[in-house]
Structures are given as structure tokens and as C-alpha cells.
Amino acid sequence: MKVSVIGTGYVGLVSGVCLAELGHTVFCVDVDTVKIDQINQGITPIHEKGLADLLKKNVGSRLTATADLERAVHETELSLIAVGTPFDGQEIDLSYIRHVAEKIGDALKSKSAYHVVVVKSTVVPGTTDTVVTPLLESASGKKAGPDFGVGMNPEFLREGEAVVDFMSPDRIVLGACDTRSLSVMQALYAPFESVDILSTNSKTAEMIKYTANSLLATMISFSNEVGNLCKKTGKVDVTEVMQGVHLDKRLSPIIDNGRRIVPSFTTYIEAGCGFGGSCFPKDVKALISYGKSLGEPMGLLDAVIKVNQAQPRQIIAMLEKHFPSLDGVHITILGLAFKPETDDMRESPAIPVIQTLLNRGAQLCAFDPVAKDEAMKLFGEDTIQYAKTLGDALAQPQAVVLLTRWDAFKDLARLIQPMKPQPLVIDGRRMLDKNAFDRYEGIGM
């Protein structure tokens, strides 16, 4: 099938490259000509495991990047919209979606063949039907249904695992305005014969996406609230509490002779220094704002955001317990990205932690396997010392603060134990052995 993907960001580029790998002919469209040139040279503008190899394999044959949206629409049967849908502080920002919908509508005006437009970006329920479709119709002078198809196909890609998540999906959700649009969308995913495909309307597909992300975010804030209570309770470690909770056979079913299935979502029921990324915060806030616009109070999700926004302060409180003044204190920050295996610092808890410590006059040294450049864009090159290696980062800290669960930090104890005196270790992700250090503080204990 010939497909155009509009927007070559974390979602659009992964989707385009994987669809090419599956045998489709793909046009990746973007307004950013730097990205287009990079893609056509086989260079990925983003850091995603496995993406570069697949791009190199397909670019120039099954995959082409272009700024010419009209040509891409004319030469393909289906267009996926994967442009940004940021949260503007009040509500979801649909300006990019609107802009692209109009451009696609313009292209449809002069296209006689049937074409299906599918929204892949995360948009609040109703957007495909009440924003995208009317814009397509007004710009093309044609009618959705008889003249062209419209649908919604949410992405469930985790950053750092996006290629695996696309190539081995756990579900495919297809929202469509009619059966003809649906059949074209089904053809797109024909290679995934054994995957559960849920076919529904566009509004339900949009709601599934928000609900999925909001549930995961809620589990994290729930775990963090329990963790903060455990810390106040004294002699209770949230890690052990959650181990006890995870053993509930409804969470980790006992299959036979004591063996259990431990579902991976249990790792979202663990306390840490808060969730980040370009999805959870944005999506939960957009759903709250959407719900409130319909008169729903959205009290639970409001609390999920409030708990998450306060969580980085737990790190500061643990430091203040040992350093009444943070002015001039040498602190090493381990982990800057919002999660391991990515350089993305969008909404990372490391941002408020670093901002507060800099405001308090702390002398900071930071190490992250890949997010250094992103951190430099945020904090400049000389406000923080950026260590090239983990060893360099441990040269002389009075305190070490772990904020991202990079594997590289697993055996931190081996590096810390020989130090005299040992620095204070603050474990923001509870990934370390609390008994392996002279002075250890952790979230939720």
C-alpha cells in the first residue's frame, strides 16, 4: 500500500519507517527541511533503538521524505497525521492538526481517487469528527464518506521501545467514519495477522488512548502518594509494601505449581520521583481540561497531576535533611532523561530538581548516558558540570542523586563503597540496594 505520514517526530518517523519495513511504500512529510534531508540521507533526527538500521534499510527504496504534502497525498491511498499536539497550559493545542488538515484538504481538492485521512496524533475525543473532518471538507469542497475516508488510529509507542512497540503491537485500535475507510485502514495493518484489532468509531478510539495513558499515570501517582505516607509512617518501605501488593493473584496470577505471571504494568505500581515525558503529563492535563469543558469535575486526574508535580520536592526534602543549607554543596545528579533508553528530557523530574538546587547555590555535576545535549539546551553549558563518564561524575560529590533508572547505575555501590567518606546517596527511583551504602535515603522509606 502507498502511505503518507505527516509529521516526522517521535511517532511519525517510527511509524513511517516501520510501515516501510512491513512492505508499504511510504512518504514521510514534514515542514522541517533539515529533518527531511537527514531522513533522506538515512540519518534519524531522533534517538530510538533500532530506528537507524531500519531507516537505512528502507530509505531511497520504500521510504522517501519530502516537504511536498500535496504530492504525497496524490501519490498515496492513505495519510497518517502525526504532528505534535502539545498542551498549551490551558488545553490541547490543535493548531498543527488544523494546519495539516487544511493542507490535506487542499490536496484532496485536485485528487479524484479515493483517499483515507487517519489521525494518529493524540487528540481529545471528538477532534477527528468535529475539527479534522470539517476542515478536510471545507478545504477540499468534498464530502467525508462518499468522496474520502476519515479515521483515527492512536499510537501506543513507548519512547525508547517505539520500534518494538510498533513492530510487535499488543493491540491495534481503528476508529473509522464508515466501513470503506475501515477496510483501507485494515489493509494498512494486514501484516499483523494475529494481533487484536479493535474497530470502533473515531471518538472511542481517541478516548481509548487517553484512558490508557491516564490509567498508567494514575498508578504512578497512587504509588507515590503511598510512598510519601510510608516515609512519614517510619520503618515502612514502600518498595516492600508494593511487593506485597503485587503478589495479589489478581495482579500477578498464579498459573500452576506456584509459578506466576508478573504483568509488566506492575512496574507502574512503584514509587519514584514522578512521571514525565511528552505524553503522560500532556495527555492527562488535556483529558482533565476536556472533561471540565463538559462539566465533569475530573477530581481524580487533577490529583494525579498535583501529586506528580509535587513529587520532585521529595528529593529536595531528603537533601535538606542532611544539608540545612545547600549553598556550595557538591551534588552529582545521575540521570537527566525522563526515563532510560532515551535522550528526551520533556517534563523530566530532573528539571525541577536541578532548577531548585541551582537556585539554592548547589555545585552540580550531572551524568546521563545520552541526554547531556538536551540538558545543555535547557541549563546552558556552564551552570552545570557535565561528566563524560559515571566515574568522572563521582569525583568529589557530597551527595549523589539518582533520578533515572539507567542500567548504568545498577552497580553504583561498587563505585561508592571505596570512597572515604562516602557521599550521601538519594535514590529517586528505588533501584539501588538501600543496605549497600553508609548514608542512603530513598523515596518512600
Question: Which chain residues interact with ligand UDX by CB under 6 A?
Answer: 6-12, 30-32, 35, 82-85, 96, 99-100, 121-122, 155-159, 213, 216, 220, 267-268, 272, 275-280, 338-339
Cα–Cα distance, 305 to 284 (Å, whole number)? 8
Hunting for cell 518494538 — which residue is that? Answer: 164
The residues near 53 (Cβ < 8 Å, ≥ 6 apart) are none
Cβ atoms 288, 298 nearer than 8 A: yes
Cα–Cα distance, 389 to 406 (Å, whole number)? 13
Chain mean position to CA 75: 31
Residue 276 or residue 352: which is nearer to ligand UDX going by CB? 276
Residue 397 or residue 442: which is nearer to ligand UDX going by CB? 442
Cβ atoms 375, 366 nearer than 8 A: yes
Residue 9 or residue 175: which is nearer to ligand UDX going by CB? 9
Cα–Cα distance, 119 to 12 (Å, whole number)? 11
DSSP letters, 81-147, are E-----B-SSSB--HHHHHHHHHHHHHHHT--S--EEEE-S---TTHIIIIIHHHHHHHHT--BTTT
**Nearest by Cα to 374 from 159, 143, 124:** 159
Residue 162 or residue 394: which is nearer to ligand UDX going by CB? 162
Least distance CB 238 / ligand UDX (angstroms)? 13
Least distance CB 111 / ligand UDX (angstroms)? 19
Least distance CB 211 / ligand UDX (angstroms)? 12
Least distance CB 13 / ligand UDX (angstroms)? 7
> Which residue among 230, 273, 279, 365 is the active-site one?
279
Least distance CB 128 / ligand UDX (angstroms)? 13
Residue 410 or residue 439: which is nearer to ligand UDX going by CB? 410
Least distance CB 301 / ligand UDX (angstroms)? 15
Residue 286 or residue 329: which is nearer to ligand UDX going by CB? 286
Least distance CB 286 / ligand UDX (angstroms)? 9
Beta-bridged to residue 116, according to DSSP, are 78, 149
Strand pairing report for 399-402 and 385-386: unpaired
Q: How many C-alpha atoms does 376 have within 13 Å on its Cβ side?
A: 11
C-alpha cell at position 31: 515542514
* Distances in whole angstroms, Cα of residue 77 to Cα of each of 129, 294, 314: 20, 36, 52
**Nearest by Cα to 59 from 76, 35, 80, 75:** 35
Residue 89 or residue 324: which is nearer to ligand UDX going by CB? 89
How many CB atoms are closer than 10 A to CB 260? 14
Cβ atoms 122, 12 nearer than 8 A: no
Least distance CB 313 / ligand UDX (angstroms)? 16
Cβ atoms 330, 365 nearer than 8 A: yes
H-state helical runs in 294-371 = 299-310, 312-322, 350-359
Residue number of the CB closest to ligand UDX reads 9
Residue 133 or residue 311: which is nearer to ligand UDX going by CB? 311
Active site residue 365: no
Q: Is the peptide bond before 421 cis (omega within 30 degrees of 0)?
A: yes
The catalytic site residues sit at 279
